[in-house]
Structure 1
Amino acid sequence: MDGRKYTCGLDAAMAVMGGKWKGLVLFALGEQPLRFGALRRAVPGISERILILQLKEMAASGLVHREVHEQVPPKVVYSLTPFGHSLNDALAPLGAWGEEHIEHIEHIERLP
């Protein structure tokens, strides 16, 4: 064994991604930096608590940068790091595949 934790690149990428919400947050931040409220509106269905948790994890893994502007009230802006942009770029073909097959995917999810 070569001491690596992951069995392949996809395994490592999925460890960074971890679930449904991080990809959607990456997509939302791919266009422009956003404040928390705008980011929450850009990711329908995510709760405030989950978004806070996901942003903390994404900042810790180097995907997201959190910039605090010292003013009253405090202004916090989230943006993608170069590492986050690279992951977003890698996910773009997967998103295109999903768009191409969305009707089929929705159909099979409705089956008993």
Structure 2
Amino acid sequence: MTKIPYPGKPVRGSKSGAPIMALFDLLGRRWAMGVLWTLRENEPCTFRELQDKCETISPAVLNQRIKELRLAQLIERSPDGYVSTSLGKELYDQLVPLGAWAKEWAKELPDPESGDT
């Protein structure tokens, strides 16, 4: 059976059980964010369409992420393919400002090629 990080339980990187840590554990899994982003911007998508849009994702990894994200109630299967749930859409909307912050943060960091640290 597929397991997902669960608030209130120890997760990868944290024994606190804090809900944010469970979310970070889930979203930190390979391709989890890519699947969420792709569905939010291109929904609905069949398995094959989702695989094509994610380009380098293997069918096994995509299948695993779909199972986990469905268990987490962030995506669901519709008659036309996979779609974001209302929770998944809300999460996406919350992550957009974080993405904008990350772009500004990246501008502040020294260029790793320049040798400056």
Scaled by the length of structure 1, the TM-score of the pair is 0.70
Q: Which has the higher contact order (CA 8 A, sep 6+)?
A: 1
Please give the alpha-carbon distance, in whole angstroms, between the structure 2 residues aligned to 1:21 and 1:88.
15
Alignment deviations for residues 37-75 of structure 1 (CA, whole Å, 9 cap, x no partner): 2111221321111001100111111111012x4xxxxxx
> Does the C-alpha gap of structure 1 residues 61 and 9 become closer, same or farther in structure 2, counting only changes over 3 Å?
closer
- Partner of 2:112, secondary structure, is helix
> Does the C-alpha gap of structure 1 residues 108 and 45 become closer, same or farther in structure 2, counting only changes over 3 Å?
farther
**2:74 is equivalent to residue 44 of structure 1:** no
Structure 2 residue corresponding to 1:61, chosen from 57, 72, 81: 72
How far residue 97 of structure 1 moved from its aligned partner, in angstroms, is 3.2
Q: Which residue of 1 aligns with 2:88?
A: 84
Query: Hey, which of these two has a bigger chunk of strand by percent?
Result: 1
Gaps of 5+ in 2: 1-7, 10-15
Gaps of 5+ in 1: 70-75
Instruction: Give me the CA root mean square deviation.
Output: 2.7
Structure 2 residue corresponding to 1:21, chosen from 6, 15, 31: 31
> Does the C-alpha gap of structure 1 residues 45 and 99 become closer, same or farther in structure 2, counting only changes over 3 Å?
farther
Query: Hey, which of these two has a bigger chunk of helix by percent?
Result: 1
Please tell me the residue identity of whatever aligns with 1:34.
C
